[in-house]
């Protein structure tokens, strides 16, 4: 599948990869600046004899490889009373693996000129590596150790645990985090989406090495694995490397079944805290990513609040009335839930006015739909912005390909996306607005005397 993309190579490489920069030096910068502004690439599906599949974009502009992968099942897989388990585990994969203790592993990683990272969300455990193709074997051996044989030694476990606990304690003093957490409980009840990924201080303190080993054995498997690779590597070489990294994993993950849930509507949550201004969030129904009318909803949301400086909400709430510095809306698609969210901040004595303007614009769009001119401008923007936001570096391409796999959108999605957007009609966008925006939203207000603030919904 041919696509066109702008090449802006790895300028966001973090300073922590000192070995990487020692090796790549000025040569990569010269190659980056000399690279053509646009280059045609192909996305290939590569499958090993053992059944491991990856999406590959070969790119020999500079001698680098970006690997992104994920395992379905993030913090939603934390057992009862063991909140924060998957998050804690994600911080320990590069803290010693195989025969290498933590310091030895980090030194070997630095000498290989590679960067490795892991993180957990509510729905997935993510990993990534950026490496120099000349040092591929050394780097991928380390990645294979991290994925298959993490040590979970006592000292690193306690060090990372304390980092997590410090973050939990800081969050307990953060009114935004606390207000959002109270809102999540109102929206999702006892569902895993109501929990913090980091867990509670009590739960994290009680986690054991056996808990970590058990989570690793249950969650990391071939059946819930997705892989994306971009860079200086061919398909046949990648096949062998995929088996090197992942073939030792068990075939099937042992995932707890998670129920689908839609956020509860009509809730009003106030979190009182002395802040210079109040934060406001509204939650409406969303739309599944595979719904035939998704792009109609996507364009509708862009017109409502997704277009940063061109949306109706930005114009009415900020430009005309000066009630905020910024306001936006977005479609949130999680593995087991969807929503449309609107968020802004304003002076506490203007919360009622801001909500009234927001709800007036939401109602107007639901009743009347957008204009033909608004729809055409929205199409032009979302088509043109995709490459800039998703395909501007090897790392961002790999992240994009990974999420396309997780969303099961197909390897031809980038090619077909433009046609799908251009095919959306004004009537479809009007129908999407009526489908999502006529609901009674849930509203969160965080700020001074929030409990006494009129929410006008």
Domain locations along the chain: 2-246, 268-452
pLDDT digits (tens, 9 = 90+) for 96-108: 999 999 999 999 9
Asked whether residue 266 carries a pLDDT value surpassing 80, the answer given is yes
For the domain made up of 2-246, give the CATH fold: Cytochrome Bc1 Complex; Chain A, domain 1 (3.30.830)
pLDDT in tens, 332-344: 999 999 999 999 9
- Tell me which H or E stretch contains 71: strand 64-72
Question: pTM for the whole thing?
Answer: 0.88
- Region 217-235 average pLDDT: 98
C-alpha closest to that of 365 among 292, 291, 429, 283: 429
Rounded to an integer, the average pLDDT of 216-223 is 98
Closest C-alpha to 63, from 121, 99, 10? 10
Q: What is the mean pLDDT of residues 8-19?
A: 33
- Mean pLDDT computed over every residue of the chain: 90
CB 443 within 8 A of CB 271: no
| Cα 79 to the center of its chain, rounded Å | 23
Q: Indicate the CATH number for domain 268-452.
A: 3.30.830.10
Q: Same CATH fold, 268-452 and 2-246? A: yes
Q: Is 160 left (phi over 0), alpha (psi -120 to 50) or beta?
A: alpha
User: Is residue 417 scored above 60 in pLDDT?
Assistant: yes
pLDDT (tens digit per residue) in 159-197: 999 999 999 999 999 999 999 999 999 999 999 999 999
């Amino acid at each position: 599948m041919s696509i066109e993309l702008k090449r802006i190579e790895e300028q966001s490489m973090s300073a922590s990869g000192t070995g990487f920069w020692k090796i790549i030096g000025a040569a990569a910068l010269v190659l980056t600046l000399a690279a053509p502004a646009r280059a045609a690439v192909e996305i290939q599906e590569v499958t090993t004899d053992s059944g491991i599949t990856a999406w590959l974009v070969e790119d020999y502009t500079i001698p680098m490889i970006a690997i992104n992968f994920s395992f379905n099942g993030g913090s939603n897989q934390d057992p009862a009373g063991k909140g924060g388990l998957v998050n804690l585990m994600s911080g320990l994969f590069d803290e010693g693996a195989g025969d290498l203790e933590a310091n030895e592993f980090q030194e070997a990683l630095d000498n290989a000129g590679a960067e490795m990272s892991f993180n957990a969300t509510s729905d997935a455990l993510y990993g990534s590596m950026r490496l120099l193709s000349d040092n591929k074997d050394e780097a991928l051996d380390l990645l294979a150790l991290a994925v298959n044989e993490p040590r979970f030694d006592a000292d690193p476990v306690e060090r990372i645990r304390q980092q997590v606990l410090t973050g939990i304690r800081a969050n307990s003093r953060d009114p935004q985090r606390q207000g959002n957490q109270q809102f999540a409980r109102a929206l999702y009840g006892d569902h895993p989406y109501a929990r913090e990924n980091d867990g509670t201080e009590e739960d994290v303190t009680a986690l054991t090495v056996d808990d970590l080993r058990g989570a690793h054995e249950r969650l990391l498997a071939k059946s819930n694995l997705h892989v994306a690779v971009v860079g200086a590597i061919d398909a046949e070489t990648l096949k062998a490397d995929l088996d090197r990294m992942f073939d030792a994993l068990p075939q099937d993950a042992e995932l707890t079944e998670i129920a689908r849930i839609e956020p509860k509507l009509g809730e009003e949550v106030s979190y009182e805290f002395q802040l210079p201004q109040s934060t406001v969030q509204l939650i409406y129904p969303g739309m599944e990513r595979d719904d035939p009318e998704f792009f109609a909803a996507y364009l509708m949301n862009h017109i409502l609040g997704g277009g940063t400086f061109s949306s109706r909400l930005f114009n009415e709430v900020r430009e005309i009335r000066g009630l905020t510095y910024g306001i936006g809306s977005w479609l949130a698609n999680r593995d087991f839930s969807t929503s449309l969210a609107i968020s802004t901040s304003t002076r506490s004595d203007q919360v009622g006015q801001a909500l009234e303007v927001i709800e007036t614009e939401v109602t107007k769009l639901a009743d009347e739909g957008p204009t033909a001119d608004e729809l055409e401008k929205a199409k032009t923007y979302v088509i043109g912005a995709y490459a800039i936001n998703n395909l501007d570096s090897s790392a961002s391409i790999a992240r994009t390909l990974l999420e396309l796999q997780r969303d099961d959108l197909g390897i031809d999605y980038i090619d077909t996306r433009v046609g799908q957007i251009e095919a959306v009609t004004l009537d479809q966008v009007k129908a999407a607005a009526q489908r999502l925006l006529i609901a009674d939203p849930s509203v969160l207000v965080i700020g001074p005397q929030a409990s006494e603030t009129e929410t006008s919904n």
